[in-house]
Amino acid sequence: MLNKLMKLALGLAIPFSLLTAGPALAEIREHQLKFAAANNKGHPQVTGMEKFAELVSAKSGGKIEVKLFPGGVLGGDVQTVSALQGGVIEMTVLNAGILAGNVKEFGAVDLPFLFNNGEEADKVMDGAFGTGLMERLPDTGLVGLAYWELGFRNLTNNRHPVTKLEDIKGLKIRTIQSPIPIELFNTLGANAVPLPYTELYTALETGTVDGQENPAANILNAKFYEVQKYMTVTRHQYNPQIVLISKKFWDGLNDEEKAVFQSAATEARDYQRKVSRELDAKAITQIKATGMEVSELSAEETQKLRDAVKPVVDKFSAEIGADTVAALFKELQTLRGQ
């Protein structure tokens, strides 16, 4: 009788042990989702998306499929954010500063001449400051997964070389649809024209605008060199990008599925930044090879630009929130050992 009871106990223990030791994959269900972005295939943004999709597939045992829609085929950035909030599109990646229209504190990352290099930006965005911004998003129907990189923006135009502050005056410059870049270029004497990225090439080609400002990787990827003659290495603004997922979609995921998306976004972040920085280092040489005339600002002229845009920092610090901006600058001072 005792032997029978022991055998019965062992028999019951086997399925129980299998259940408790079962892989997390057993909890992951099948999903298919749309991941949209404005840049074209070959851009570091899209390379990051491809890595993310690959990682999600691997981590989910092939159960979750991320379908990529680069090149703005599902709309511009502002339009895509609305589609995420409505649950029509599940994911996007875009300049974090664009979210200032949803959460005003995101405007802080658009402040001019903020970061000295990408590594400095990484520490701020991956640390308490960037995390604090993300925590404000769910109330707007969005969830942030990670910060990637677009990089340092430079000025191009089709009228004349820009080698000093005064050369910017009167140029019609396309900016992103965010208040700080608009104010920045108006303050420098240009006429800022906010347009979706998807409309930019045509606007340059037709002369609707004289120029634009983007990282070197974008100038190459979007072939702006075909419709622009002059580039100036201004590095006037750094753009961290944010990977967003629709809260409607996110709330329907279980913990195991959420972990797949979060870990894939973080792993893809490190890869994407590396790709972005390697390309940026080579891009100016490649841009020169296309025939564009590339100018470098002297240290004196760069300082003139910095001085000219100080009123922009003061104005938007009040709008963003003095505490938020103070926290950002305190973090930067700590990083710089000041």
> Could you tell me the pLDDT band of residue 338, with boundaries at 50, 70 and 90?
confident
User: Residue 247: CA atoms inside 13 Å, Cβ hemisphere, count?
Assistant: 15
Question: 220 vs 47, 84, 95, 227, CA distance in Å?
Answer: 15, 29, 18, 12
Domain boundaries, the chain: 31-335
Decide: 194 and 182 in contact? Cβ < 8 Å.
yes
**Residues shown for the chain:** 338
Query: What is the DSSP annotation of 299-320?
Result: HHHHHHHHHHTHHHHHHHHHHH
CATH topology of domain 31-335: D-Maltodextrin-Binding Protein; domain 2 (3.40.190)
Q: What band does 14 get if pLDDT is binned at 50, 70 and 90?
A: very low
Q: What per-residue confidence (pLDDT) applies to 178?
A: 86
Question: Terminus-to-terminus CA distance in the chain, angstroms?
Answer: 79
Q: Is residue 197 a contact partner of residue 77, using CB atoms and an 8 Å limit?
A: yes
Evaluate whether 83 touches 141 at the Cβ level (below 8 Å).
Answer: no
**Residue 19 pLDDT > 50:** no
Cα dihedral angle (170, 176, 179, 181), rounded to 10 degrees? -50
> pLDDT digits over 105-154, tens only?
999 999 999 999 999 999 999 999 999 999 999 999 999 999 999 999 99
What tens digit of pLDDT does each residue of 46-61 get? 999 999 999 999 999 9
pLDDT at 177: 87
Three-state SS at 22: coil
Q: 322-335 and 310-320 are packed helices; what angle lies between their axes, rounded to 10 degrees?
A: 120
pLDDT in tens, 258-317: 999 999 999 999 999 999 999 998 999 999 999 999 999 999 999 999 999 999 999 999
CB 152, CB 213: distance < 8 Å: no
Q: What's the token pair of residue 255?
A: 């913990």
Q: CA 122 to CA 240: how far, in whole Å?
A: 8
* Confidence band, pLDDT 50/70/90 cuts, at residue 26: low
CB within 8 A of 117, min separation 6: which ones?
none
Q: What are the pLDDT digits (tens) for 74-109?
A: 999 999 999 999 999 999 999 999 999 999 999 999
Which residues lie closer than 8 Å to 10 by C-beta, 6 or more apart? none
Sign of CA dihedral 332, 334, 335, 338: positive
Max CA separation in the chain (angstroms): 99
